[in-house]
Amino acid sequence: MHRIDAGFLDWASRYDDTSFTGRNLRRQREWFEARSAAILCLQSTAAQAVLAEKICAHLR
């Protein structure tokens, strides 16, 4: 289990690095942009109720 956790933490520490060849933020954004469906991206430290309301508003 420790090995799995260490692997995840290693990957997560490089997620914002655009030169990282694994799955990273840049590649994920490119994937999002290629989708034809609407995507709601919540990047926030707001309260859960606020985020839930944003989701509900997006679905209306």
Q: Tell me, what's the pLDDT at 60?
A: 87
Burial class (CB in 10 A: 0-12, 13-18, 19+), 24: middle
> How many other C-beta atoms lie within 10 A of the C-beta of residue 26?
14
Give residue 37's region: left, alpha or beta (phi > 0; psi -120 to 50).
Answer: beta
Percent of the chain topping pLDDT 90: 73
Q: How far from chain centre, in Å, is Cα 4?
A: 20
pLDDT band at 57 (very low <50, low <70, confident <90, very high): very high
For 32-55, the pLDDT digits (tens) are: 999 999 888 888 899 999 999 999
Q: Tell me, what's the pLDDT at 26?
A: 94
What pTM was computed for the model? 0.61
The three-state secondary structure class of 44 is: coil
Check whether 1 has a pLDDT greater than 80: no
